[in-house]
Amino acid sequence: MSRIGNKPVSILDGVKISVAGGSINVEGPKGKLSYAHRPEVDVVVEDGEVKVSRKANDKNSRAFHGLTRSLIQNMVVGVKEGYEKKLELQGVGYVCSIAGNKLKLRVGLANELVKEIPAGLEVTCPDQTHVDVKGCDKQKVGQFAAEVRGLRKPEPYKGKGIRYVGEQVKIKPGKSAQ
């Protein structure tokens, strides 16, 4: 039995939700999001809440029940408050900048890395060693932050690279420690 899927999603102030034929549209102060849910589940808006129920009790239906409810919850929170990921660059000479809709990174490689900023995301560089990714779609924010981090992951010997703010990198002892 899905505990997450059975909980109703409360609609926050300033958020409008409409369900039309297998598609859920959520609109709020931060933007608009839509999601085409699977046919295994039914979505109903009533009394200021969104309720998700499954049609059958097979494994797929149970899986999509909780997933659909979580995605709707993320959309409601996203259009109301938004999501944010913060990255930091650690290393001598590691800098970042924004030019137009491109994020430029100099992270110890021969060439400057250039990453296209997707539509719907707001990417800023408060200083040369920090990148803030903001948006209403939780998946897009997390995906872009992970792609930027993946360009130069923190290495385990000196800790240089791109990491999330507050991320702990375990430093290994070098060859001389043996």
- 76 falls in which pLDDT band (50, 70, 90)? very high
- What is the chain written as a DSSP string? --HHHHSPEEPPTT-EEEEETTEEEEEETTEEEEEE--TTEEEEEETTEEEEEES--SHHHHHHHHHHHHHHHHHHHHHHT-EEEEEEEESTT-EEEEETTEEEEESSSSS-EEEEPPTTEEEE-SSTTEEEEEES-HHHHHHHHHHHHHHSPPPTTT--EEEETT---PPPP-GGG-
- 87 falls in which pLDDT band (50, 70, 90)? very high
The radius of gyration computed from the CA coordinates of the chain, to the nearest angstrom, equals 21
- 3 falls in which pLDDT band (50, 70, 90)? confident
For each of the domains in the chain, give its residue range(s) and CATH number, in order of start: 3-80 (3.90.930.12), 83-167 (3.90.930.12)
**How far is 175 from 59, CA to CA, in rounded Å?**
51
User: How many CA atoms, within 13 angstroms, populate the side-chain half-sphere of residue 20?
Assistant: 5
Q: Do the Cβ atoms of 98 and 123 come closer than 8 Å? A: yes
Residue 4 is predicted with a pLDDT of 87
- 5 falls in which pLDDT band (50, 70, 90)? confident
**How far is 72 from 138, CA to CA, in rounded Å?**
11
Q: pLDDT tens across 22-74, in order?
A: 899 999 999 999 999 999 999 999 888 999 999 999 988 888 999 999 999 99
Q: pLDDT tens across 122-171, in order?
A: 999 999 999 999 999 999 999 999 999 999 999 999 999 999 999 999 99
